[in-house]
Amino acid sequence: MRKREGFTLIELLVVIAIIALLMAILMPALQRVRKQAKVVLCRTNLKEWGLVWAMYTDENNSKFPDYMAGDWMQKLIDYYSNSEKLLYCPMTTKTMEEGAPVRYSILPTGGSYSLNEWIYDSDDTGGGRKLEEYWRSTNHKGLNNVPVMADGAWRADGQPYETDAPPSYDGEPRTGVGTSGDEIRIFAINRHDGFVNVLFMDWTTRKVGIKELWTLKWNTDYNIAGPWTTAGLALPGDWPQWMRHFKDY
């Protein structure tokens, strides 16, 4: 019987080259699948927050709280049993102070979601705010375009206006509070490749384009066809360089 010969060096190199080629082809696909899974998990977290807010408003005659001073995660703890996983988008890793890029960073307050402060039943008129701009309760129409909370860049809540200027770079902080605060920047973070996940007041969630944020009904008097929308005649060149390749709305 003829003795079986082993692999030659050339054959072994060919096998290694084929494996390397397959890995090069498969790795981008696997990375895309991982990213998509994190997007889904992030949206699932927001759906669970929708249940939390639904329970809260059901128990309080459809009303939101008066104000939570940026500490809404702690004050709602009885409704979500202190489940830490709900506090973070899966894309986040550590805080900016620890060196994480903005899109992957956890808020200093212990989470990576931010609240639309206009939902409050508030009497705060600081910074030029008007009392009639607050939603106060769920007793309104068109709730599928009213944000409650979303992916956030650096703090726990914000009050956007249609005139808010976009961030000149990914993660640029707001400039103040109220009408001159550019607080939409809190939500305009490139965490999901040009999109953020948003929970709406009808308790649905969906991904929203970063430029699309300017078309959402943040407060009761918000103009969804404001100067940073295509209906308001905004042009691609009007946006900061890092945002120009994102879809226009």
Domain ranges, ordered by start, for the chain? 10-243
Tell me the CA end-to-end span of the chain in Å, nearest whole number.
75
Token representation of residue 32 = 């895309």
Half-sphere exposure of 115 (CA within 13 A, CB side): 23
Q: Which amino acid is at 16?
A: I
Distance CA 135, CA 85 (A): 28
Tell me what pLDDT residue 97 has: 77
- In tens, the pLDDT along 202-217 reads 999 999 999 999 999 9
Q: Is the pLDDT of residue 160 over 70?
A: yes
| Mean pLDDT value across residues 118-131 | 91
Q: Following DSSP, what letter does each residue of the chain receive, concatenated?
A: -PPPP---HHHHHHHHHHHHHHHHHHHHHHHHHHHHHHHHHHHHHHHHHHHHHHHHHHTTTTBPPS--TT-HHHHTHHHHTT-GGGGS-TT--EEGGGT--GGGEEBTTTBSEEEEGGGS-----GGG--GGG---BS-SS-GGG-EEEEE-SSSSEE---TTPPPPSSTTPPPSSSGGGS-GGGGT---SSSSEEEEEETTS-EEEEETGGGGGS--STT--TT-TTSTTTT--GGGS-GGGTTSPP-
Tokens of 131: 């009392």
pTM of the predicted structure, to 2 decimals: 0.84
Q: pLDDT category, 234, cuts 50, 70, 90?
A: very high
pLDDT for the residue numbered 83: 73
Stretch 68-82: mean pLDDT, rounded? 75
Give dist(CA 117, CA 70) in Å, integer.
Answer: 9
Nearest alpha carbon to residue 74 among 87, 62, 61, 57: 87
Give the pLDDT band of residue 5 (cuts 50, 70, 90). low
Residues 150 and 198: their CA atoms lie apart, in Å, by 4
